C-alpha cells in the first residue's frame, strides 16, 4: 500500500524575505535579493555580488548557548523548521515522536566554522580550537539539531547532493511517508557558505555572474546575456504529512506530493550532460511515479541557474520530455532570478514556491529577462507573475556531480 502525502506547512529564509509571507510577496513583486556582497571582501574577485539573507536574528529560534554551538546553516535550518511547524499548526506533544522525522540536507555545510577555526589553529595553536568544531561543521547536524529542538525521534537523515540537495531531501521524505514509516516529516535544504573560501572557489571556476554594475540584474536565467549564477544562502523547509493524518487534524493543505524521480548524468564533475538526457529522464521518471502524463503539467519551476550551459541544457531536456506543441505552452520560470542560487537550499525553497503557485494559481516570474536567446525558446514567464490555473507542476534541481532530482506537485482534490 502506498500512502498519499500532502504538504501542510512551509518555512523559509531567503535573500528576499525572512519568512514565508515576506518571501512570497517579494516573488509576486519580482524583487531581486542580489546586492554587493557584504560577507566577503570581493575586491580581488571577478564577481562582487551575492544574494544574502538580511537581518537574520537567530535568537528568535535558538538559545544564546545553542547559537554559540551552531553554524549559520544549522541556525537557518532550525528557523525554517520552526516556521514550518507553526505554519502547519502542528503540536508535536500530541504526536508519536517515533512517527515524526527530519530530512534536511546541505550541499556544503559549516564552511563558516571551518574557516574561522582554521584561522584560530594557525594563529593561536591547536589548544584554542573549539571542541564544538566537528559537530558545528558536519552536514547532518542540520536535521540532528532540528530533531533535538523538537523532540522528533522518527526517521532522521541528511542529503548532500550539491544543488539538488533540497529536492532529494523532500523526495526521500515523501517516500518514507508513502511507505508508512512516518506520518510527519520535516524536509528541505539549508545553506550558508558565502565565505571567502566558498565565494572564492566558485569565482575561480568562473561560475559566478560578473554583472557587477547592476547587482539586482545579475541573475538573469535564460537571458542571452547571462554569464553566471549569483551565490545565495538561506533555507526552505516543508511539512510533509500522510493524508489521513492531515485530514483528521483538519490541516490546511497546500498541495499533494505526487511523484519523485532522480538520475545521474555520469558525465562531468560540474557540467550537465550537454544533450540533457539525464535531466530529461529524471522528469520522465517523476511523471511516471506520479502517474501523470506530460500534457497534464501546467508549470515547471526550473533549476535555471543563469549560467550559459545550464539554462541551455535544461531547455533541451524540457523539450525532450514535453514535445511540441506541449513544450511551447508550458510555463517555465526560474525564481533564482530573484533569490539567487541557494545551492543546497534551492530545491527546498523552490518546492515551496511551486506549492504556492498551485495553491494561489499564479506562476512566479523570471525577472531580468530582457534579451531572448534562440537556444532558450520556451515561455519563461518573463518579468511579471502570471495568473493561471495550475493543477500539476514540476520542480527541477540539477547538481554538481551530475545529480538530478525532480518533484511533481499537484492540486489536492480530496
Positions marked active-site:
163, 303, 341
CA-wise closest residue to 192 among 380, 51, 25, 338: 51
Q: What is d(CA 56, CA 52) in angstroms, rounded to the nearest whole number?
A: 10
**Residue 169, C-beta contacts closer than 8 angstroms, at least 6 positions apart:** 103, 104, 105, 158, 159, 187, 188, 189, 347, 348
Asked whether 308 and 286 are in contact (CB, 8 A), the reply is no
Q: Are 320 and 289 in contact (CB under 8 A)?
A: no
Judged by phi (left if over 0) then psi (alpha if -120 to 50, else beta), residue 342 lies in: alpha
Phi, psi of 235 (to 5 degrees): -155, 155
For the CA atoms of 378, 379, 380, 385, the dihedral, rounded to the nearest 10 degrees, stands at -170
Cis status of the peptide bond prior to 329, with omega within 30 of 0: no
**Percentages helix, strand, coil for the chain, rounded to the nearest 5?**
40, 20, 40
Residue 281's nearest CA partner among 267, 227, 269, 270 is: 267
C-alpha cell at 327: 513544450
Amino acid at each position: 500500500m502506498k500512502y498519499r502525502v500532502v504538504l501542510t506547512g512551509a518555512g523559509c529564509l531567503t535573500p528576499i524575505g525572512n519568512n514565508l509571507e515576506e518571501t512570497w510577496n517579494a516573488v509576486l513583486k519580482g524583487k531581486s535579493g542580489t546586492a554587493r556582497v557584504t560577507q566577503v571582501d570581493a575586491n580581488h574577485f571577478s564577481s562582487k555580488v551575492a544574494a544574502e539573507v538580511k537581518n537574520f536574528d537567530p535568537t528568535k529560534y535558538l538559545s544564546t548557548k545553542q547559537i554559540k554551538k551552531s553554524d549559520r546553516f544549522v541556525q537557518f535550518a532550525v528557523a525554517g523548521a520552526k516556521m514550518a511547524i507553526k505554519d502547519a499548526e502542528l503540536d508535536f506533544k500530541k504526536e508519536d515522536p517515533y512517527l515524526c522525522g527530519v530530512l534536511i540536507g546541505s550541499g556544503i555545510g559549516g564552511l563558516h566554522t571551518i574557516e574561522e577555526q582554521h584561522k584560530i589553529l594557525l594563529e593561536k595553536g591547536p589548544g584554542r580550537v573549539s571542541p564544538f568544531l566537528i559537530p558545528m561543521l558536519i552536514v547532518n547536524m542540520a536535521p540532528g539539531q532540528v530533531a533535538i529542538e523538537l523532540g522528533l525521534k522518527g526517521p532522521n537523515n541528511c542529503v548532500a547532493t550539491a544543488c539538488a540537495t533540497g529536492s532529494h531531501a523532500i523526495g526521500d521524505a515523501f517516500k518514507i511517508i508513502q511507505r508508512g514509516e512516518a506520518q510527519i516529516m520535516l524536509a528541505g535544504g539549508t545553506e550558508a557558505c558565502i565565505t571567502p573560501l566558498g565565494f572564492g572557489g566558485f569565482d575561480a571556476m568562473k561560475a559566478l555572474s560578473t554583472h557587477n554594475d547592476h547587482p539586482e540584474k545579475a541573475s538573469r536565467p535564460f537571458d542571452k546575456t547571462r554569464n553566471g549564477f549569483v551565490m545565495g544562502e538561506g533555507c526552505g523547509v516543508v511539512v510533509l504529512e500522510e493524508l489521513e493524518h492531515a485530514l483528521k487534524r483538519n490541516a490546511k493543505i497546500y498541495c499533494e506530493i505526487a511523484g519523485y524521480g532522480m538520475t545521474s548524468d555520469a558525465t562531468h564533475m560540474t557540467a550537465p550532460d550537454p544533450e540533457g538526457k539525464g535531466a530529461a529522464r529524471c522528469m520522465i521518471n517523476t511523471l511516471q511515479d506520479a502517474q501523470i502524463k506530460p500534457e497534464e503539467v501546467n508549470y515547471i519551476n526550473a533549476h535555471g541557474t543563469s549560467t550559459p550551459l545550464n539554462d541551455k541544457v535544461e531547455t533541451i531536456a524540457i523539450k525532450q520530455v514535453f514535445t511540441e506543441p506541449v513544450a511551447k505552452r508550458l510555463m517555465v520560470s526560474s525564481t533564482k532570478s530573484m533569490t539567487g542560487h541557494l545551492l543546497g537550499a534551492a530545491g527546498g525553497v523552490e518546492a515551496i514556491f511551486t506549492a504556492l503557485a498551485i495553491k494561489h494559481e499564479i506562476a512566479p516570474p523570471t525577472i531580468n529577462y530582457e534579451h531572448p536567446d534562440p537556444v532558450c525558446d520556451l515561455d519563461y514567464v518573463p518579468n511579471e507573475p502570471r495568473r493561471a490555473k495550475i493543477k500539476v507542476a514540476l520542480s527541477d534541481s540539477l547538481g554538481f556531480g551530475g545529480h538530478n532530482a525532480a518533484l511533481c506537485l499537484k492540486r489536492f482534490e480530496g
